[in-house]
Amino acid sequence: MRYSKILTSLTFASVALSTPFHRHHEHAKRDAAPDVVTVLVTVYATGSEPSSTESESSSSSSETETALIKNAVATASASSSASYQPTTLKTSYLSSASSSASSSSSSSSSESSSASASASKSSSASSSTASAGSVEAYAEQGKGITYSPYEDDGSCKSSSTISSDISMLSAYDVIRVYAPDCSCISAIMGTMGSNQKVFAGLYYMDSLSSDISTLSEQVKASSQGWDGVYAIGVGNEWVNGGSYTVSEVSAAVSSARSILEDDGYTGSVVTVDTLVAYQDNTDLCDVSDFIAVNSHPYWDGGVEASDSGSWLKTQISNIKSSCGGDKDVLICETGWPTQGDTYGTYGIPSKSNQLAAIKSIAEEVGDQVLMFTTYNDLWKDAGDYGVEKYWESLQSLLYNSAIKQTQQLRKDLEIFENNPINSPLSIIGQITTTITTLTRTLQDYEDYILKQTLSLNESQKLKNENRLKNLKDELIEYKLKFQLFKKQREDGLNELNKNQLLYTNRSTAISDNPYDESNGSSIVNRANAKSIDDQNDNESNKYSSLSMQEGLYKEQTVLEKSNQQLDDILEMGKLAFDDLIEQNEVILKMKDKMSSSLQTLGVSKATIRKIEKKAFEDKWIFYIGALITLYIMYLIYSYLG
């Protein structure tokens, strides 16, 4: 009995020690940490059988169990002294069977609300570009999605690239980032819609103050300001990863909240950690304004992909109960990898399993989760199970977007083709815009295919290449059609204008004599219609009822008078030009005289300077001579006197 109690205590200790170790690799860009210690502690609280590999790693004997606990303690000590070190320990997220049973009733009661919220989310995503039944379509039923602003080599994406990425996420209410790196907050808030908000992260404790300052600058520079921020997450799995203790995390969150409040932010501040970390350290519940947890069915190993939604619902109920039931729960990461090694019994990475998992999650708890993640994070380490890079939810979103744009372009071209002459200019502008957008989308799709080359098999590569080729061929065809239809429109309008100019008179059956007052479009009537005073009316009436010959004669007389007036004007211009030439000659003569006078003045000044110089020299000669004379006279007087 006593041995049994000791064994039970050791088992719970193994769970407590194992919980800090499970997490993804760093979500913010950071150099890989060396000398990672790997410890495997697997606890199946629900009774699901482990795989053969995991069975070999955990012995049923008390000696082996005790050894594992000692190793875990040693590893925990090492992890606490080396912060931010990625680990590879995978711990079951499942709670005990008793807690699962106690929460079953509350899970059932929340089923209808979750389903209705998911339906509401689905109907509101009018800007979605995902195809029905795809991973993207189901992912868009979630509350939001995570995003990393890094290229495949770990460098920052440009602001334009980030904006382009975010424009593809218009169906998501919340976009989570892990740090304000790469000016991503500015790019995101500058692109996201009015119904969207950013979940901003502060990833590093050692630069918390400076990161808050960076975040604040980017937020305040946006048009939304703090109103565009959904929440601020301080850290990601700090306790679960063994980076910091609960008290250290609590102090960091309190400090961040205080700084943010001084800076004008009054929204939610949380720390994001795993379900197990929150359950085993309920003080985290008090630290956060809502329960922010990461939870992945894949890492349980005993959950089939199609059961991911119901599994998450149970976990949400359990964590809500553990934290007192007063605060809301948001799953800040969840998804399923598409590549890598099998974990446990049912943790099998594949696209089909990802579709099944995301579909289940969306239908069960869509309004309570943020999908993980937008694109594959190829800048990360693959991890022990090779899955860390491959969690993207938008595998074919660019392709689906291109398909929808192609369909819209085809529809608009059909409208334009049916009536090119009378089609409104708006349809031409719409076609031009769609062609430009589709061209950019195909370029992004091509870049995406190139990036994914290493991670795809030959059939997948060929499939993507064929898709891209077909879309490009369609775009070229539609561009040619558009140019042809525009040419037809231009030719038709030119012909229409020509006919109106040439056949207006004949079609209205009026006289060809422009001087006949019976002609409604005659020169006389037009002149009378445009008259603005009685004098003009009288002048116009002189030409009433003239024959063609008389009208032409009078018109010639008017032209001759006009010609004479033009001659007079030209003559006046010639006289004015002659006057200008004469004036120019006078000015030149005056210039010569002034130059001569200036030269004369110059000579006079030079002569005066010479005279003054000579006078100055003569004056000093006189003074010197006078002094010498006086000195000689003094000597004569001294010797002879």
Q: Which DSSP helix (H) or strand (E) runs through 369?
A: strand 369-371
Torsion of CA 160, 201, 276, 356, to 10 degrees: -20
Cα-flanking dihedrals φ and ψ of residue 516, to 5°? -85, 120
**Assigned token pair, 350:** 């594949």
Q: Considering only CA atoms, which of 195, 191, 196 is closest in space to residue 157?
A: 191
Rounded CA separation 302/304 (Å): 7
Neighbouring C-beta atoms of residue 624, cutoff 10 Å: 10
Question: Do residues 62 and 7 make contact, with C-beta atoms less than 8 angstroms apart?
Answer: yes
Are 435 and 405 spatial neighbours (Cβ–Cβ below 8 Å)? no
Q: Are 200 and 185 in contact (CB under 8 A)?
A: yes
- Tokens linked to 203: 């990833």
Two tokens at 422? 């009378």
176: Cβ contacts below 8 Å, ≥ 6 apart: 144, 145, 146, 147, 198, 199, 201, 233, 332, 370
Q: Please give the Cα distance from 332 to 128 (Å, whole number).
A: 21
Give the ranges where 125-207 is alpha helix by DSSP (H): 135-139, 159-167, 184-191
Buried b (16+ CB within 10 A) or exposed e, 513-548: ebbbbebeebbbbeebeeeeeeeeeeebeebeebee
Integer Cα distance of 635 and 629 in angstroms: 10
- With contact defined as beta carbons under 8 Å apart, do 291 and 285 qualify? yes
Q: 335: buried, middle or exposed (CB in 10 Å: 19+, 13-18, 0-12)?
A: buried
- What is the three-class DSSP state of 370? strand
Give the DSSP letter string of 215-283.
HHHHHHTSSSGGGGEEEEEEEESTTTTTSS-HHHHHHHHHHHHHHHHHTT--SEEEEEEEHHHHHH-TH
Q: Tell me the three state secondary structure of residue 343.
A: strand
Query: b/e string for 246-277 if b means 16 or more Cβ within 10 A?
Result: bebbbebbeebbeebeeeebeebbbbbbbbbb
Angle between helices 458-507 and 397-418 (to 10 degrees): 20
Element (H, E) at 330: strand 329-334
> What are the residues whose beta carbons fall under 8 Å from the beta carbon of 621, sequence distance 6 or more?
none
Give strand pairing partners of 232: 200, 269
- Write out the catalytic residue numbers: 333
